[in-house]
Amino acid sequence: METGLHKQAVQLCIFEYAHLLKQLEDLGHLLTPDEEERALRFKTERLQNEFRAGRGQLRRLLGEVLDRDPKSFTFEYGELRKPFLRDHNLHFNVSHSKEFWGVAWSKKAPLGLDIEFKNPDLNYPKLAETFCCATELTYLKKAEGSEQKERFFQLWSAKESLIKKDGRGLSMPVKLVELSPLSNAQTGNLRVNTLGETGLDHPEELQIKAFDFHPEYSLALCTEGTFHTEIYFNKSPNIRPL
């Protein structure tokens, strides 16, 4: 049954690269010459094909949602290379990490999506000092071993999703952002509190939703206000075009 995309809804699609690469021939044909040239800049054939698969899938999904030829879209880019469609009221954001590629979209407002592989070799205590506020650091230090690692990666995904939603990149002072309640950091809704001048517009309206979708990955989605999330894994939503 087809369903329309409600104003308060966010649709989130997560795909394994292995799933997309099986469709590489079809997806690769959707790329523009400029995108194919961009694919060839990657050092390995696998990375080249992952870019082709992800960009082709983005075009295919947007074509389904907007009822347009997937090849017809011309992406424009913000200062930090965040793609957008100027002529449509559809907001979207893409993320990928190791084995997974994902995209979220909404009619309501800009959003940020982050998928993170929980890299066991990452020096996360040192990295936490660069982006966690004092309350969040205390929350991390109260845990040990694997639990501390879980807490770190979910906080990192949450703040990365906020950075991507905001669009300013690493110039955003994330240490002046406090997430709460931290009991929801691994799965649940987080509020955004500011501890100083962050440049965020109406931070009280922001909401970050954390998902427990895979034991080796963290996943977070940031948007404005209360929203309902529809999640699809390795499949596209069957919706009426906007």
Q: Which regions of the chain are under pLDDT 70?
A: 1-8, 238-242
Residues 167 and 215 in one domain: yes
- Amino acid found at 140: L
In a domain, 238, yes or no: no
In a domain, 32, yes or no: yes
Residues 89 and 123 in one domain: no
Distances (CA, A) of 201 to 165, 166, 204: 11, 9, 9
Residues 102 and 138 in one domain: no
Residues 28 and 62 in one domain: yes
What pLDDT is attached to residue 81? Answer: 77
Distances (CA, A) of 204 to 53, 109, 178, 207, 226: 37, 15, 12, 8, 11
- Residue 236 sits at φ, ψ, to 5 deg, of -95, 145
CB atoms within 10 A of CB 41: 9
Residues 100 and 129 in one domain: no
Two structure tokens written together for 78: 């913000």
Residues 104 and 159 in one domain: no
67-121 pLDDT, tens digit per residue, is 999 999 999 887 777 888 877 889 999 999 999 999 999 988 899 999 999 999 9
CB atoms within 10 A of CB 147: 12
What pLDDT is attached to residue 3? Answer: 45
In a domain, 240, yes or no: no
* Total domain count, the chain: 2
CB atoms within 10 A of CB 50: 21
Question: What CATH number did the domain enclosing 95 receive?
Answer: 3.90.470.20
In a domain, 79, yes or no: yes
Distance between CA atoms of residues 238 and 71, nearest Å: 20
Residues 102 and 122 in one domain: no
Distances (CA, A) of 239 to 9, 92, 104, 107, 146: 12, 16, 14, 14, 40
In a domain, 152, yes or no: yes
Residues 135 and 202 in one domain: yes
Residues 124 and 212 in one domain: yes
Whose tokens are 């070799």? That residue is 121
Residues 39 and 55 in one domain: yes
What pLDDT is attached to residue 11? Answer: 93
- Residue 38 sits at φ, ψ, to 5 deg, of -65, -40
Tell which residue, 106, 109, 111, has the closest CA to residue 95: 111
What pLDDT is attached to residue 235? Answer: 84
Torsion 184-185-191-194 (CA) sign: positive
Q: Are strands 228-233 and 9-16 parallel, antiparallel or unpaired?
A: parallel
In a domain, 4, yes or no: no
Torsion 141-147-148-151 (CA) sign: negative
Range(s) of the domain holding residue 73: 9-108+227-233
What is the chain's length? 242
In a domain, 83, yes or no: yes
Residues 23 and 102 in one domain: yes
What pLDDT is attached to residue 1? Answer: 35
In a domain, 60, yes or no: yes
Residues 94 and 147 in one domain: no
Distance between CA atoms of residues 214 and 76, nearest Å: 32
Characterise 239 by phi-psi region: left (phi > 0), alpha (psi -120 to 50), beta (else): beta
